């Protein structure tokens, strides 16, 4: 169930946003003050926060900074007055994922929300002892952070997104080295696979997750 928090002090607008976004698989929470919004974030940890900037009891920008500094994965869309360009800039620099200016079309808001929810869905992948967050480039094994190079990240992403399927060496080289397979030594893939296995704690003799399919390529299991 996707959790969406609407933090907007205008009750009519708050309700209108909820009605326009309502669909199966979404659970909505509504806050009308900054204090209520802060409490809801702590208790529920929403997937998406639609956040007004101006509240009677404070600025939504403060809550935005708190959420980002805490490392939460909540996607945040700011609602701001049309003439407050400085708030937009400050919000984006503080980590907001998107913004929309008032007055706005609810159809446009629906589209913006859809984009952010798709990003949230693809952001973090949990596989056993692994956490792979390709958007934020955060990777961990048994809770311990590991550093992956850009090449290793590309390789891992292709394997994970094709979980259970054998990906040929040619397709991996083409995907990792951006179509330069004609100029990349096949040994480079073998070396990158070894480094990736080492960082994921794989047994060199019998890797459990990145399997070699001899004569073809590799498979993530």
Distances (CA, A) of 51 to 64, 98, 140: 8, 10, 30
Q: State the pLDDT at residue 211.
A: 94
This prediction's pTM: 0.58
Residues of the chain with CATH 3.40.50.2300: 2-117
Average pLDDT over residues 135-148: 85
Of 11 and 160, more confident = 11
Q: State the pLDDT at residue 122.
A: 56
Q: State the pLDDT at residue 84.
A: 73
Q: State the pLDDT at residue 124.
A: 67
pLDDT above 70 for 175 = yes
Q: State the pLDDT at residue 45.
A: 86
pLDDT above 70 for 181 = no
Q: State the pLDDT at residue 152.
A: 93
Q: State the pLDDT at residue 184.
A: 66
CATH number, span 2-117: 3.40.50.2300
Of 99 and 126, more confident = 99
Average pLDDT over residues 183-188: 74
Average pLDDT over residues 151-179: 87
Token duo for residue 31: 């806050």
Most confident of the following: 18-22, 87-91, 178-182:
18-22
Average pLDDT over residues 135-159: 88
- Tell whether omega for the bond before 103 is within 30 degrees of 0, i.e. cis: yes
Residues of the chain with CATH 1.10.10.10: 148-220
pLDDT band with cut points at 50, 70 and 90 for residue 22? very high
Token duo for residue 147: 């550093």
Computed over every residue of the chain, the mean pLDDT equals 88
Q: State the pLDDT at residue 52.
A: 95
For domain 148-220, the CATH class is mainly alpha
pLDDT band with cut points at 50, 70 and 90 for residue 36? very high
pLDDT above 60 for 182 = no
């Amino acid at each position: 169930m996707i959790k969406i928090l609407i933090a907007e002090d205008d009750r009519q607008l708050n309700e209108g946003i909820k009605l326009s976004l309502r669909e199966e698989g979404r659970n909505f929470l509504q806050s009308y003050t900054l204090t209520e919004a802060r409490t809801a974030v702590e208790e529920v940890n929403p997937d998406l926060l639609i956040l007004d900037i101006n509240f009677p009891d404070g600025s939504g920008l403060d809550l935005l900074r708190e959420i980002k500094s805490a490392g939460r994965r909540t996607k945040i869309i700011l609602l701001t007055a049309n003439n407050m360009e400085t708030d937009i800039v400050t919000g984006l620099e503080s980590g907001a994922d998107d913004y929309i200016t008032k007055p706005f079309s609810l159809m446009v808001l629906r589209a913006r929300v859809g984009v952010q929810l798709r990003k949230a869905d693809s952001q973090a992948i949990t596989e056993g002892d692994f956490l792979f967050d390709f958007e934020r480039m955060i990777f961990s094994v048994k809770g311990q952070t590991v550093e992956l190079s850009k090449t290793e990240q590309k390789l891992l992403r292709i394997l994970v997104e094709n979980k259970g399927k054998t990906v040929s060496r040619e397709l991996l080289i083409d995907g990792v080295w951006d179509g330069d397979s004609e100029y990349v030594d096949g040994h480079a893939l073998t070396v990158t696979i070894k480094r990736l296995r080492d960082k994921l704690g794989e047994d060199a003799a019998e890797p459990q997750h990145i399997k070699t399919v001899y004569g073809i390529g590799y498979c993530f299991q």
